[in-house]
Amino acid sequence: MDIREHLSHYWITFPDDSTFPIGQGVTAYTPYDAFSLLTDRGYDFHTRAARVDVREIRSLDDISDFDVFGTCGPLRFRGIWYPCLNIGIDASGR
């Protein structure tokens, strides 16, 4: 069995904080795993936000913001795909 079968794609938004990013996309095992990946890269918006919405998505078609499409990394692998940080274009290898 491929371990990627246990991964989910999460789109995380901060609807009450207009100065925060439009969202963050993470492929992880659970929402808590996604938050851990974000924290590891210095993104702590989820700890400071007035409200955090987490949606499990099937594909990019489930996200209404078209700016995400052209700048995201691959959703197939565990990591942050929007903004593309630890997979794809800006992979640090850590």
Which residue range(s) make up the domain with 71?
A: 3-90
Count other C-beta atoms under 10 Å from residue 20's C-beta. Answer: 17
- The size of the chain, in residues, is 94
As to burial, measured by CB atoms within 10 angstroms (0-12 exposed, 13-18 middle, 19+ buried), residue 12 is buried
| Predicted confidence (pLDDT) per residue in 29-80, tens digit | 999 999 999 999 889 999 899 999 999 999 888 887 767 877 788 888 899 9
Q: How far apart are CA 73 and CA 76, in angstroms?
A: 9
Of 4-8, 16-20, 38-42, 64-68, the range with the lowest mean pLDDT is 64-68
Q: What pLDDT sits at residue 93?
A: 47
For the chain, how many structural domains are there in total? 1
Q: Look at the pTM and tell me if it is higher than 0.95.
A: no
How is residue 2 written in tokens? 């491929």
Q: What pLDDT sits at residue 64?
A: 77
pLDDT at 20 over 50: yes
